Amino acid sequence: MIKQFIKRIITLNIIFALIMTIYRIIFTFYYSDWAELSQYFGDLVQAFVLGVRYDCAVLAYINSLVTLFFILFWFIGSQKLFVKFVKSLKYYYTIFFGCIVTLLCIDFGFYSYFQNHMNILMFGVFEDDTKALFSTIAENYPVVWVGIGFILIFVFVYVLTKLVLEKKVIGYYIEKTKIHIKIILALVLLCANFIIARGSFGLFPLGVDNAEISTNTFINKVAINGIYTLQAAIEARSKQKDRDYIAKMGYSKDNMAKTFADFLNVDVSSIDKQEPENSLKRTTKYNKNIEEIKPNVVFIMMEALGTDLMHYNSESFNVLGEFKKHLDEDIVFYKFLPANMGTIGSLESAMTNIARLPLSQFLCQSKYAYNKYFYTGPVPYKNKGYETIFMYGGNAGWRNCTAYMPNVGFDKVIGEGSMPKEYERNQWGVYDEYLFDYILKTLGENDNSKFVYIMTTSNHPPYSLPSNYKQPYPLEINEELKKDITGDKTLSKMRFATYQYSCQKVGEFLTKLKNSKFADNTIVAITGDHNFWNTFSYSVERKLDEMSVPFYLYIPKKLRPDSKADTDNIVGSHTDILPTLYNLSLSNTDYWATGTDLLSDEAEQNIASNCLGSIMTKDNFVIYDFASGKEKYYTWNKEKPREIVPAEQNEEHKNMVKHYKSSVAIAYYMLQKPEKETEK
């Protein structure tokens, strides 16, 4: 009987879901501090509910083939085939659910070591000294008993499945059913399986990002299961290309002193051959005002805050809103390159103080995510007693940030799940105005000096605006602008509106800050992660406009440098932001970085570059293709200062390419150099 079969399949899956829930309960009580966790009882309940969704999604994937074959044999109508199909299911479920339970057990052990669910480090078993690793496991764990335990898991699943599905299996028969009833039921089963596997009715399917529901990080780990994190690790691994960037750039691991000498444009004899990275060490000057003020540093990376659209700003097409008066009042570098044309690549590079590796997996989703490095952005601030905070307007679990950012040096990782529920949200997170309010709230929480690194989300597809926002300025698209738009005109209008919204709200934030108690003790840096997309097309001559983002600086009066930077000519990139901030906010402090303080005398000779092969100085431009190694040479157009024109190769072009190649090789070298003692 078909009804009986469906009931038994559902019963079996309920049992499987209960087993996974029991595992979650054991996991919670074994690894948690219950006294602390009891304060988050509501969040814990939510975590278990979300956990059931994750578990059911895993089971739905397993059941997808069962559903398809059941429908097939039901439509064929063969009693003999149907019974054989039912009998085969005990082997199917034994293999798949046996593997699920085994993986959960492995995840339990993995967590005990790494304090995290299974991730990309699982692949280290095959990359490390595998023989030595298994030898260590054999010495520390009862491998034989563990092996027997895994076998018993499969035996248990086999017996359970057979008991539930095959009791009186002879009683299964395919009754005659009208074809339209069969079609309707088949569609219902397929849709139910699809929805449960998707785990969500929202825009996006259930993923590892959705596990961030509480300010308590352990509760977030209770919600997710190791199967999901393993799947994410496998996907990340399949995309990861960890080349030998040192060799690729024409250097040798045995002579890294030459690489650092080329990068710094110094004689190789001045580089320590044993620890060439020490040539990147700098010390900020003693500054009495900095010592007294110990300023907060707020570094905001805004979604798609490209420079190009700013040049179209006018009274009738006002995309800058309240941000404009601050751009006019303070320091802004406009010849400025993002590290990448994707959010996470730029975010990482700005925070690691090294170049982004071309065509590589993102650090936060690679094996490097689980190392701690001595040169990363927050470290000098931590060494000076600062509270270091990473704040994201979206889900903090995005791109593995909850695991990666603490290793970079952040004391706290805050996402939308930690923010008030009444904050209005879009598909990506809280709207910018709420995020900026939360920043001000965070600055005032205690008397600690803070380094806060923020990533916004509002200016991102599908380009929505909060219900309370009334467009304060006109966005009239004139004929000249209309000609430049190559994408969908309707989409462009919404794109411009969200850009205006983000600029207006960051402008309001700056106004509030400047009129508050934080005006004299807080430095604010603002940049974009990349230029906006899908609106304009760009010729090679407009390469800078295609990529550029601004770098804005608000500096309290007592901390401003004596000389004014030549922002019209000085070029920079994301790796230059932190060295600039260190020298503005830290006194007599060591730091390691490949970037330049853009307010220093050295900035006039700066070479800016990114992983897409754009390299520029105040006089020249080079486009380097990493895959082919081909180079194209340009100089700035004197009549149109933001455009480039082809040029014959000159000595500076050669030096620019050398600088770029050595920066990539150095970045790869530095990633192999975790954990070094730093001076405080």
Is residue 498 a contact partner of residue 464, using CB atoms and an 8 Å limit?
yes
Top-confidence residue, 399 or 582: 582
Q: Is 560 helix (H, G, I), strand (E, B) or coil?
A: coil
- Lowest mean per-residue pLDDT among 110-119, 565-574, 597-606: 110-119
Backbone angles phi, psi at 427, to 5 degrees: -65, -20
Checking if the pLDDT of 582 tops 50, the result is yes
Per-residue exposure over 287-314, b if at least 16 CB sit within 10 Å of its own CB, e if not = beebeebbbbbbbbbbbbbbbbbbebbe
pLDDT band with cut points at 50, 70 and 90 for residue 678 = very low
- Lowest mean per-residue pLDDT among 110-119, 306-315, 421-430, 463-472: 110-119
Tell me the C-alpha distance between 85 and 90, whole Å: 10
Checking if the pLDDT of 677 tops 50, the result is no
Residue 357 DSSP code? P
Pick from 303, 298, 399: which is nearest to 348 by CA? 399
Q: Is 359 helix (H, G, I), strand (E, B) or coil?
A: coil
Bridge-based pairing of strands 551-554 and 590-592 is: unpaired
Is residue 23 a contact partner of residue 226, using CB atoms and an 8 Å limit?
no
Structure-block tokens of residue 634: 């340009």
pLDDT tens column, 222-239: 999 989 888 888 876 676
Checking if the pLDDT of 138 tops 70, the result is no
Q: What is the pLDDT of residue 216?
A: 76
Bridge-based pairing of strands 296-302 and 522-528 is: parallel
Q: What is the pLDDT of residue 129?
A: 45
- From first CA to last CA, the distance across the chain in angstroms is 75
Please list the helix, strand and coil fractions of the chain in percent, rounded to the nearest 5, in that order: 55, 10, 35
Q: What is the pLDDT of residue 653?
A: 98
Q: What is the pLDDT of residue 122?
A: 74
List the chain domain ranges. Answer: 2-239, 282-590+607-612
Per-residue exposure over 655-676, b if at least 16 CB sit within 10 Å of its own CB, e if not = bbbbbbbbbbbbbbbbbeeeee
Instruction: State the Cα torsion 470-473-479-481 to the nearest 10°.
Output: -90
- Segment 317-346 shows an average pLDDT of 96
Bridge-based pairing of strands 387-392 and 450-455 is: parallel
User: How many separate helices (H) and strands (E) can be counted in the chain?
Assistant: 23, 16
3-state secondary structure 125-186: HHHCCHHHHHHHHHHHCCHHHHHHHHHHHHHHHHHHHHHHHCCCHHHCCCCCCCHHHHHHHH
- Lowest mean per-residue pLDDT among 241-255, 302-316, 629-643: 241-255
List, in sequence order, every beta strand (DSSP E) within 329-410.
Answer: 331-333, 336-337, 387-392
Percent of the chain with pLDDT over 90: 67
Per-residue exposure over 469-497, b if at least 16 CB sit within 10 Å of its own CB, e if not = beeebeeebeeebeeebeeeeeebeebbb
Top-confidence residue, 365 or 276: 276
- Segment 149-154 shows an average pLDDT of 92
- Segment 603-618 shows an average pLDDT of 97
pLDDT tens column, 468-525: 999 999 999 988 888 888 766 777 899 999 999 999 999 999 999 999 999 999 999 9
Sort 324 into a burial class: Cβ within 10 Å, 0-12 / 13-18 / 19+. middle
pLDDT tens column, 619-632: 999 999 998 899 99
Structure-block tokens of residue 144: 């034989």
Percent of the chain with pLDDT over 70: 93
Tell me the C-alpha distance between 669 and 486, whole Å: 42
Q: What is the pLDDT of residue 239?
A: 60
| Average pLDDT of every residue of the chain | 90
Q: What is the pLDDT of residue 675?
A: 64
Bridge partners, 551 (sequence order)? 333, 527
- Lowest mean per-residue pLDDT among 19-23, 384-388, 460-464, 542-546: 460-464
pLDDT band with cut points at 50, 70 and 90 for residue 680 = very low
Q: What is the pLDDT of residue 233?
A: 80
Would you list the DSSP string of 176-243?
A: ---HHHHHHHHHHHHHHHHHHHHT-SSSS---GGGG--SSSHHHHHHHS-HHHHHHHHHHHHHH----
- Segment 233-255 shows an average pLDDT of 84
Q: Check if CATH label 3.90.1530.10 holds for domain 282-590+607-612.
A: no
Checking if the pLDDT of 434 tops 80, the result is yes
- Residue type at 362? F
pLDDT band with cut points at 50, 70 and 90 for residue 175 = low
- Segment 661-675 shows an average pLDDT of 93
> Which pairs from 45-50 meet CB under 8 Å and 24+ separation?
46/213, 46/214, 46/223, 47/213, 47/214, 47/219, 47/220, 47/222, 47/223, 48/21, 48/24, 48/222, 48/223, 50/210, 50/211, 50/213, 50/223
